Amino acid sequence: MEKILIVGHGSPKKTANNIQHVAGLLHNLIHPECDDNCVSVAYLQFAQPDILQGIAECVQKGAKKVIVHPYFLSNGMHVSSDIPEIIKDAEKKYPDVEFVYTEPLGVHDKMAQVVLERIHAASGLRPEEIETRSFEIISDETDLSNISDEKLPVVQRVIHATADFEFKNSIAFHPDAVKAAIAAIKAGKDILTDVEMVRTGINKRLLGKWGGKVLCSLQAAGEKTENPGNKTRSEIGIEAALQSKNNIGIIAIGNAPTALLKTIEILTSDSYSADGFPVVIGVPVGFVKALESKVLLSEQRFPFITNISRKGGTPVAVAMVNALLKMADERG
């Protein structure tokens, strides 16, 4: 068993002894599904545990190999002399344990990127500059080269909204989805949402440029007094909106799997008679019917954008719609 011990200098100021956050980030990076404490911290002075205590805890938890990383910027006396001496003492105490001592943080190109981020943060960047820099960071930290130019803005904006790189692998597009969505926006079509939060987040200025409006299906549900079959309000609203509105070009569902299932049912029924299909952005989040509804959406012949996972929600639906609105605006 292998354990990693991150060693900081330590400070009399307790709030400065916070490298456990770094340990947590590292643990999630290398062992995302692990519940064990594989990465722990220790301090050279002023704070607990000290290095020998940290090593002892690793050994007590069954470690046969302990990797010690000095969380220091340079190779000074602490890094080159003090910590190695402590490790020598540990080697004598635990002769059956292998110890690996790494280089400190030192000089690295990513350190320069961190400094640049701190400079930008202190400079008070404008919102558009923050967004541009965020997209640059996304490109630096993950490979999006296998995503087509047509789909890339949607994937980037979802990652930007969620800080979750897993979406680059889970978002699924119908071949005509992006083209059809942009055409609907430019044609002044309306956007129907399942909940008010999605409606609120959509950029109405960009949509209004083409004459479209954002509608919430719950408003339509409020007009319906009958509820056969104990349908959810989202189901009732989607059904009512699609029956009464003929200018819907995009349906954005970020919350209710039942609304997505009802949408699919209506659009695939023999009685559906609107002129063309709306683009369905279906990304409900949750554990009950969310994944199943998105898998079903991914099998449809009408244009859709979804993600094949339990993740999703309002931020994802809003990000997808706003990415399409921005694309329509840029293409004029």
State how far Cα 78 lies from the chain centre. 38
Distances (CA, A) of 98 to 40, 50, 68, 95: 17, 19, 11, 8
The catalytically annotated residue of 69, 78, 120, 160 is 160
Question: Quick check: 5 and 57 in contact, CB under 8 A?
Answer: no
- The tokens of 3 are what? 């354990």
Of 282, 292, 286, nearest to 259 by C-alpha is: 282
Question: Quick check: 167 and 311 in contact, CB under 8 A?
Answer: yes
State the DSSP code for 64: S
**27 belongs to the catalytic site:** no
Q: What share of the chain is helix, strand, coil (3-state, %, to 5)?
A: 50, 15, 35
Q: Which residue is it, tokens 């709306």?
A: 278
Distances (CA, A) of 70 to 59, 97, 104, 171: 19, 19, 5, 39
> Which residue blocks in the chain are alpha helix, DSSP H?
20-30, 51-60, 77, 83-93, 109-122, 127-141, 152-162, 167-170, 177-186, 196-201, 204-208, 217-222, 233-244, 257-267, 290-298, 314-331
State how far Cα 181 lies from the chain centre. 23
The residues carrying an active-site annotation are 160
